[in-house]
Structure 1
Amino acid sequence: MSLIKWIDFQTLGDERGSLVSIEQGKVVPFEIKRVYYIYRTAEGVSRGYHAHRNLQQVAICLVGKCRMVLDDGVTREDVWLDCATKGILIEGGMWREMHDFSEQCVLLVLASAPYDEADYIRNYEEFLAITRQSRIATSLQC
């Protein structure tokens, strides 16, 4: 099963241009509590390198492109975000990295909660240990 969960946004428009409307509870599967965007990322700089314990996010590349790496502690997949009408759902417990930002890249992120440093896992080895413990606990319940 793929870690990549795409969300397609409906495009509206006519000869004047296009419009994408994003509404929580319709296409975004959570209440949006925070919105931020990443831009002017210098060439060769990568971002992310963390997981969230509970936070859910949708990442949408509005302009340009970047490569997103998702890792659940067992599987690691990467995908290009390069379309303003498609987002990627990132659930809690998922390590993420962003690489290869194009010069004009603008990456929009919708989040299910306000910023909370306690929700971050910033060390990859700690992330692997937590996911290992979670898998063991789940297998013992069955």
Structure 2
Amino acid sequence: MTTIHDSNLIEITKVNDVRGNLSVIENDAIPFEMKRIYYLYDIPSGAKRGGHSHIDQHEFLIALSGSFDVVLKDGKEQKTVTLNRPNVGLHIVNGIWRELKNFSSGAVCLVVASDVFKEEDYIRNFKKFKSSKN
């Protein structure tokens, strides 16, 4: 049974250069094989994203620009992680509820996922999520 303690921050390679920095995400940088990449942007003030859990899928979230909070819940504990550096991402394991909130103006959230979109992998009701953890 996964807990919020199984999700962790991962620093990815940052190449410093006077012309601008470069970071690279390759399969050895994160603990799963990438199958899908998407990003969230133009999020209205006060809006929240997420509000679900995955049965099998893992995700790696990075604030490419700006900042936002990720609230992680495992049915017993909760923790909030602030993402605000483009070379540090949050690995969220399967079986963890996530909510994204407090997006700064111009924030961009990159999501690297371990699988393609499959609606049957989502748990979108928190009560159902909590009962799945027992």
Question: TM-score surpassing 0.5?
Answer: yes
Out of 3, 8, 21, which is 1:5 matched to? 8
2:43 maps to which residue?
A: 41
Q: In the aligned structure 1, how far is the partner of 2:95 from the partner of 2:17?
A: 40
Match of 1:52, as an amino acid? H
1:84-123 to 2 correspondence within 5 Å?
84-123=86-125
Match of 2:18, as an amino acid? E
Q: In the aligned structure 1, how far is the partner of 2:112 from the partner of 2:67?
A: 17
Match of 1:19, as an amino acid? L
Q: Secondary structure at the match of 1:129?
A: helix
Match of 1:78, as an amino acid? T
2:80 maps to which residue?
A: 78
Q: In the aligned structure 2, how far is the partner of 1:45 from the partner of 1:11?
A: 30
Out of 107, 116, 129, which is 1:127 matched to? 129
Unaligned runs of 5+ in 1: 133-142
Question: TM-score, normalization: structure 1?
Answer: 0.89
How many pairs does the alignment contain?
A: 131
1:64 aligns with 2:66: yes
Q: In the aligned structure 1, how far is the partner of 2:7 from the partner of 2:37?
A: 21
Question: TM-score, normalization: structure 2?
Answer: 0.94
Shift of 1:52: 0.4
1:8-27 to 2 correspondence within 5 Å?
8-24=11-27, 26-27=28-29
Q: Secondary structure at the match of 2:131?
A: helix
Indicate the RMSD between aligned Cα atoms, in angstroms: 1.1
- 38-47 or 8-17, which deviates more: 8-17
Quick check: which one's helix share is greater?
Answer: 1
Structure 1 segments of 4+ aligned residues over 2 angstroms from their partners? 1-4
Shift of 1:4: 4.4
Shift of 1:2: 3.3
Unaligned runs of 5+ in 2: none
Q: In the aligned structure 1, how far is the partner of 2:6 from the partner of 2:103?
A: 21
Deviations 1:70-90, CA, capped at 9 Å, x for gaps:
011111100111110100000
Q: In the aligned structure 2, how far is the partner of 1:4 from the partner of 1:118?
A: 22
